Amino acid sequence: MDKFKAYQLTETPDKKIRAEFVERSLDELDPGEVVVRVANSDINYKDALAATGKGRILRRASCIGGIDFSGTVGSSADPRFAKDDLGVAHDGGYAEYARVPAEWLTKLPKGMSLWEAMAFGTAGFTAGIGIVRMEQNGLKPQSGPVIVDGATGGVGSIAIAALAKLGYHVVALTGKESESDWLKKLGAKEVKLRSSIDFSKTRPLEKPTWAGAVDNLGGEVLAWMASTMKVNGVIASIGLAASPSLNTTVLPFILRGVSLLGINSTECGRRCSRRCAVRFRSASCRRRSMTSSRGR
């Protein structure tokens, strides 16, 4: 096969990252059972960390970037991914072709286009998993309000749109007052500013307020969420954009039966993908029109 274009990240001797387009052939790609002709990719939080070198997460000297991709199967040694089946998955998506182990791939859910899959990307997939897990643990629209932090981010904004469409009373917690109107258009009933809360004064049990919480930040915001949950409230712990620490007490978990659900999009994978697709699609039209109106 001819050479094709790929976007490669390389660590330089002075520990910086060089990101550039290069020519590659299939033989040069990492091994895997399935070759995918890539249709779309996206820019994931981790892609930005890898390409700027800020997160120091590149785990080898050189690698084709791209955490997510969608595409059509070019060739497959695994019967689950016969030619012309569609896939949505993991690594090396910034290239015209990707070759990956079959277990890294998820079949494209019915009714979702390759473009839509990457518009949602890992952020949307993870928001969907978070909602599915919270609902599996008893969350219903009538349980009470659901708070979402990191609201203007990829995970947060899709979680807001999907939860609102599913009938939840969504409260967006953000650091950006200027985005309040956009968050309301996405479906948030209320917008709360982080600056309006003194997190340093959080007590082990505060007024029970939230039936559900989607946390993208960790640290003191997650600790505050835990202490403000209602009885049997559920928290989806997704991200650590602010901090990997959690300084709290066991009181919300024991006295109020609060559940802290760890969400890992790579581990949950195929098991959740069909239910997540339903959650994504419920939000898709709304987010797309919002997205284009913001010029993102």
Which residues of the chain form contacts with ligand NAP (CB under 6 A)? 45, 122-123, 126, 149-156, 174-176, 216-217, 238-242, 263-265
Among residues 36, 118, 52, the alpha carbon closest in space to that of 288 is found at 118
Helical H runs in 41-142? 45-52, 114-136
Nearest distance, CB of residue 246 and ligand NAP, angstroms: 14
Query: Minimal distance in Å, beta carbon 156 to ligand NAP?
Result: 6
Minimum distance, C-beta of residue 77 to ligand NAP, in the bound complex (Å): 28
Q: How far apart are CA 247 and CA 7, in angstroms?
A: 40
- Minimum distance from CB of 172 to ligand NAP (Å)? 7
Of 48 and 285, the one with the shorter C-beta distance to ligand NAP is 48
Q: How far is the CB of 178 from ligand NAP (least distance, A)?
A: 10
Whole-angstrom Cα distance, residue 204 to residue 155? 27
- Give the residue among 83, 79, 93, 90 at the shortest CA–CA distance from 39: 93
Q: Which is nearer to ligand NAP, 117 or 263 (CB)?
A: 263
CA 195: distance to chain centroid? 25
When the beta carbons of 33 and 145 are compared against ligand NAP, the nearer one is 145
Name every residue whose Cβ is closer than 8 Å to that of residue 156 and which is 6 or more positions away in sequence. 127, 148, 149, 150, 172, 174, 214, 216
* Residue closest to ligand NAP, measured at CB: 153
Nearer to ligand NAP, 114 or 155 (CB): 155
Q: Are strands 86-89 and 106-107 parallel, antiparallel or unpaired?
A: antiparallel
Nearer to ligand NAP, 204 or 262 (CB): 262
